[in-house]
Amino acid sequence: MDSRTVSRQRTEPDTPTAGMLKPNALGVLGILFFVLSAQAPLTGIAGAAPIAVALGNGPGVPAAYLVAGVVILLFSVGFVVMGRHVVDAGAFYTYIGKGLGRTTGTGSAGVALFAYCTVQAAMYGLYGSIVSGLVASHAGLDLPWWVWTLATMAVVQALGAAGIEMGAKVLAVFVLAEFSILSVFALVALVKGGGPEGLGFADSFSPGAALSGAPGVAVMFAVASMFGFEATAIYGEEAREPRKTVPRATYLSVVVVTGFFALTSWMLIASYGASRATAAAGKALAGGDGAGFVFAPIAAEFGGWVNDVLPVLLATSLFAGILTFHNSANRYLFSLGRDRLLPRGLCVLNRRHSPWGAGCVQTAVAVALVTPFALTGKDPVLTLFSWFSGVAVLAMMLLYLLTSVSVVAFFRRERLDARPWNTLIAPLFGALGIAGAIWLILANFTTLIGGERRTAVWLVVSVPVVMALGMLTAWVRRRALAVAHG
C-alpha cells in the first residue's frame, strides 16, 4: 500500500498507539449495528413511509426504496475502493481532501460535523417527545420533553466514553429488537400472500407504479432513510482488518437496509391493499398520527400488545441513532484535532482509548442546538426534528456527491487502482444519481421539513455557508503556517 495515501497506519495490531483510536475493536457485525442504528429502521418506517405514501407515489413507494438503494450502492463502489487506500476516522473529510484538495476536504469536514450534529439534535427532539408521552402515560409523571433529552445526553456521553465495544453491544440489543418485529411482520405478511388485494407486486414495483403520483417526493424520503450507512468508514481505524471489514460492512449494510425498507413498505401497502393505502396514509397524517399507518397492520397481525411495545421500540430506536451519531461526530472532531485543524484538546483519549475530549465537545454542541427550542417552547417534533433532519440529509448528500467526484479525481491522478468500474464508471453514475437526489431534495425541501418556505431557504443556505467557513478555516490556517515558517 502506498504510504502517501494512508492517513493513519497502525504500528502494532493489538496495542493502542498514542493519538490513535483503539484498533481491532470492531468486526463486520459490530460496524453493521452502528450503521443500522444510524438509520433507525423503525423511525424510518414509522416516520417517512406514511408521508412518502400519502404525498409521493402511493403504492409505488417500495420501488422508490429500490431506486435509492441502487444509487447508494453505486456510490458505495467508489467509497469502498477509496477506503482500501485511506483509513482514517475523518472518512469524508479525508477522502474528499485526497481527491479535491485539503481546503475542500476541510470544508467538507465542517459539513459532516454539521450533518451529524443536526441529525442527532433532531433525534433528541423526537425522542424527548416520545419518552415524555410514554412516561406520562404509564407512570403519571408529566415532565417537559427537554428534561428527558438532557438526561439522555448524560447517558450517551457516558456510553461514548465507555468504549466502542460497549456502544456496539448496547446498539445490538436495540437494533435487533426493532429490526426483528418489523422483519417478522413483513415475512409473515409475505408468506400469507399480503392483504385484501393480495401481494400486489405490480402495483408497487412496475415502472408505471414507480412513476405515478409524485415519485420525486418518494425517492427523496427513501434517500433520507439511507442516511448513516457511510459510518462504516468512520470506524475503519477501530476495525479488524479494515481493508476487508469496511467494504463488507458497507455493501452488507446497503443491501440489508434497501431490502428491509423495500420489503417492509411493500407489506404495509399490501396489508391495506394498493388501492386503499394512499388514503389510509393520508388519513393517519391528517389525524396527527402518521405512525398509526404502520402500527395498525402490525397490531392486526400480532395483537393489541404491539401498540404498547412499538412506541417503546421507537424510543429505543431513536436512542440507538443518537448514540451512533454521537460516536460519528466524536471521531470527526478527534480526527480534525489530530490533524491540527481544531484544538489538540479534542485528541484527548481516556483509558478505554475513546475520544473523551471530542465527546465532551459533541455533547456540549448537542445541548447548544437543543436549548433554544426548549427555551422558546417550540414543538420538538414539528420544528427541531423536522428542520434539523431535513438540513442534515441535504448536507450529507452534498458530501456523497463530493466524495464520488473525489474518487474519480484521486484515482486518475494516483493510478493505484486500474479498475475502471470501481474508480470511474460506478462513481460517475453514483454522482449523477446523487445529483438528481439533491435536486429532488431542494425542489421538495419545504415538504421534507414540514415548515414554511422562509425557514426552508434559511436551512438550505446554511449548508454552503458551513462549507465556506470550513474552507476559510483551512485557508487561514495555511497562511498562518506559511507566515510561521517564514
pLDDT at 16: 41
The CA-based angle 255-259-262, given to 5 degrees, is 140
Q: State the residue for C-alpha cell 452488507.
A: 252
In which element (H, E) is residue 268 found? helix 242-272
Q: State the residue for C-alpha cell 404525498.
A: 55
* DSSP code string of 97-157: HHHH-HHHHHHHHHHHHHHHHHHHHHHHHHHHHHHHHHHHHHH-----HHHHHHHHHHHHH
pLDDT tens digits, residue range 446-469? 887 877 889 999 999 999 999 999
pLDDT at 15: 38
Please report which confidence band the pLDDT of residue 287 belongs to, taking 50, 70 and 90 as the band edges: confident
Euclidean distance between the first and the last CA atom of the chain, given in angstroms as a whole number: 34
Q: State the residue for C-alpha cell 439533491.
A: 438
pLDDT higher than 60, residue 11: no
Q: Which of helix, strand or coil describes residue 348?
A: coil
What sign for the dihedral angle of Cα 403, 404, 409, 412?
A: positive
pLDDT higher than 60, residue 329: yes
In which element (H, E) is residue 316 found? helix 306-338
pLDDT at 121: 94
d(CA 288, CA 135): 20
pLDDT higher than 50, residue 13: no
3-state per-residue secondary structure call for 168-203: HHHHHHHHHHHHHHHHHHHHHHHHCCCECCECCHHH
Name residue 119's amino acid.
V
Please report which confidence band the pLDDT of residue 33 belongs to, taking 50, 70 and 90 as the band edges: low
Greater confidence, 307 or 486?
Answer: 307
Output the pTM of the full model. Answer: 0.84
Greater confidence, 471 or 169?
Answer: 471
The CA-based angle 243-227-269, given to 5 degrees, is 120
CB 436 within 8 A of CB 404: no
Q: Which of helix, strand or coil describes residue 339?
A: coil
pLDDT higher than 90, residue 48: no
Q: How long a stretch of residues is the chain?
A: 486
Instruction: Give the number of other Cβ atoms within 10 Å of residue 2's Cβ.
Output: 9
pLDDT tens digits, residue range 67-115? 999 999 999 898 888 877 766 545 677 888 888 988 898 888 889 889 9
pLDDT tens digits, residue range 169-188? 666 677 777 888 889 999 99
pLDDT at 143: 92
pLDDT tens digits, residue range 192-236? 988 888 998 999 999 888 888 888 888 878 887 777 766 666 666
Let me know if 26 is exposed, middle or buried by CB neighbors in 10 A (0-12, 13-18, 19+).
Answer: buried
Instruction: Give the number of other Cβ atoms within 10 Å of residue 135's Cβ.
Output: 16
d(CA 398, CA 392): 10
pLDDT at 443: 86
Q: Which of 85, 144, 97, 79 is nearest to 378 (CA)?
A: 144
What per-residue string of b and e applies to 287-304 under the rule 16 or more CB within 10 Å gives b? eeebbbbbbbbbbeeeee
Instruction: Give the number of other Cβ atoms within 10 Å of residue 485's Cβ.
Output: 6
Q: Which of helix, strand or coil describes residue 418?
A: coil
pLDDT tens digits, residue range 231-286? 666 666 666 666 777 788 788 888 888 999 999 999 999 999 999 999 999 898 88
Q: Which of helix, strand or coil describes residue 128?
A: helix
Q: Cell numbers of 303, please?
A: 395483537
* DSSP code string of 213-259: S-HHHHHHHHHHHTTTTTHHHHTGGGBSSHHHHHHHHHHHHHHHHHH
- Treating both helix axes as pointing N-terminal to C-terminal, what angle do 92-100 and 102-139 enclose, rounded to 10 degrees? 160
d(CA 276, CA 272): 6
Give me the mean pLDDT over the 151-172 stretch.
75
**Torsion angle (degrees, nearest 10) of CA 6, 343, 19, 410:** -10
Give me the mean pLDDT over the 315-327 stretch.
85
Q: State the residue for C-alpha cell 470511474.
A: 424
